[in-house]
Amino acid sequence: MKNYAYAVVTILIALAVAHFLADDSYQWQVNSISQLGAQAYDKAWIIHFGFIAFGIIVLLTGTSRIRMDVRYWFRETPIMIYGFAILLSGIFSAEPFMAGVAYSTQEAQLHGLFATVAGFALTTAILMFTFTDVPNSRRIVHFIALVLVTGFSLLFGVLPNVAGIMQRLLWVAGFSWLLYLGFNPIPRDHSNAKSSA
């Protein structure tokens, strides 16, 4: 398993099902993706499954890619940390989107912590590829992904009325980058790649 597409497809299916079955009180434009797996929500298991499965597949894929070419372990490792953090965020649930529901603030904080770690790890991974990948055309793709992921992350935090939209755009950018890695294999020989740039 050397393609992150399997992980992306798995979580996209879970997201689609979770959105389709979401309660009327859930507003995707405002509420976060994590709140599809909120505490006290009877359909939370759907997105929990998606997060955990995504994390496992990312870990397996990253391990396979490192074994394929150990020289680039430092670029794949942040992606694996990202996947592991998403996995953990599927174990600890976010705060409810339903009003007046009691919940564990500690569990919500743990979920938020792992979600933050995931975002930081993904950004770090994209940054690593931006500075070390070849040829230059690939670096440009990584840089665009870096700008989009960073930009949508900032907008997610400062535009609460459309936070759900911003987060989904952030995920689209991140998943698109993972798909790019999967369908555009790392050049086996950097010197050859440079000479063809």
pTM of the model: 0.91
Q: Quick one: what percent of the chain has pLDDT higher than 90?
A: 85
pLDDT tens per residue across span 47-97: 999 999 999 999 999 999 999 989 889 999 999 999 999 999 999 999 999
**Integer CA distances (angstroms), 141 to 5, 25, 72, 112, 119, in order:** 17, 38, 18, 29, 19
Q: How many domains is the chain partitioned into structurally?
A: 1
**Integer CA distances (angstroms), 132 to 15, 42, 95, 98, in order:** 33, 45, 39, 45
User: Rounded mean pLDDT of 138-165?
Assistant: 95
**Is residue 185 predicted with pLDDT exceeding 90?**
no
- For residue 122, what are the domain limits? 5-196
